[in-house]
Amino acid sequence: MNVEKILKTDKKMPLESRTLIHLSLVHNKVGDIINSTLRPFEVSTQQFNVLRILRGQKGKPANLSTLNERMVTKMSNTTRLVDKLILKEYVDRTVCPSNRRKVEIRITEKGEKVLLQMDAAMSNAEKEILENLTESDLKNFNELLDKF
């Protein structure tokens, strides 16, 4: 991806600006591919993230603060995300019997099944996104990203 070509400029950009613009363009491209991959399932990337977190609980319930802590994209509207997943019957929410102020959220069997389908589609999307990078490139790239 040549930044100058995309921006239609022949002017040499400062390295810092070019780097940040490049990161932004890559971020947008990755987001577009992931969004189009999840579109057939009618879930957002945030809803997909919630489903993965709940699956990772291995049957144990999570609460809203657990979901918020583990979200890739931190959001204040986790309740709304969970509500949408409840309508799709991908998760259920119950009041904890021992503490009525505590809400427990679990992934349903239907949610587990659809998440497996999403995983397969996302695996293909990841391959598409990273097709031009070798394993060595990916290791180096991750080391660079770790510096942020």
Q: Each residue of 84-112: pLDDT tens digit?
A: 999 999 999 998 778 778 889 999 999 99
Residues 6+ apart with CB under 8 A from 13: 3, 4, 21
Quote the domain boundaries for residue 98. 42-122
Look at residue 4 and give its three-state secondary structure: helix
What's the pLDDT band for 7 if we cut at 50, 70, 90?
A: low
pLDDT value of residue 113: 97
User: Do residue 80 and residue 35 come from a single domain?
Assistant: no
Q: How far apart are CA 54 and CA 61, in angstroms?
A: 8
Q: Is residue 114 part of a domain?
A: yes
Q: Is residue 55 part of a domain?
A: yes
Q: Is residue 130 part of a domain?
A: no
> Who has greater pLDDT, 44 or 2?
44
Each residue of 19-73: pLDDT tens digit? 898 899 999 999 999 999 999 999 999 999 999 999 999 989 999 888 998 988 7
Q: Is residue 19 part of a domain?
A: yes
Q: Is residue 71 part of a domain?
A: yes
Residue with tokens 């992934």: 107
Alpha-carbon 118 to chain mean position: 12
Q: What is the 3-state secondary structure (H, E, C) of 81-99?
A: HHHHHHHCCCEEEEECCCC
- Residues 67-85, mean pLDDT to the nearest whole number: 87
Question: In the numeric block, which tokens belong to residue 31?
Answer: 């987001």
User: Do residue 12 and residue 67 come from a single domain?
Assistant: no
> Who has greater pLDDT, 63 or 74?
63
User: Do residue 51 and residue 20 come from a single domain?
Assistant: no
- The answer to whether residue 8 scores a pLDDT higher than 70 is no
User: Do residue 60 and residue 34 come from a single domain?
Assistant: no
CATH number of residue 63's parent domain: 1.10.10.10
User: Do residue 59 and residue 110 come from a single domain?
Assistant: yes
Q: Is residue 7 part of a domain?
A: yes
User: Do residue 93 and residue 118 come from a single domain?
Assistant: yes
What's the pLDDT band for 74 if we cut at 50, 70, 90?
A: confident
Q: How far apart are CA 45 and CA 50, in angstroms?
A: 9
The number of distinct structural domains making up the chain is 2
| Cα distances (Å, whole numbers) of residue 7 to 27, 33, 80, 102, 143 | 16, 21, 37, 51, 28
Q: Is residue 129 part of a domain?
A: no
What's the pLDDT band for 118 if we cut at 50, 70, 90?
A: very high
> Who has greater pLDDT, 122 or 65?
122
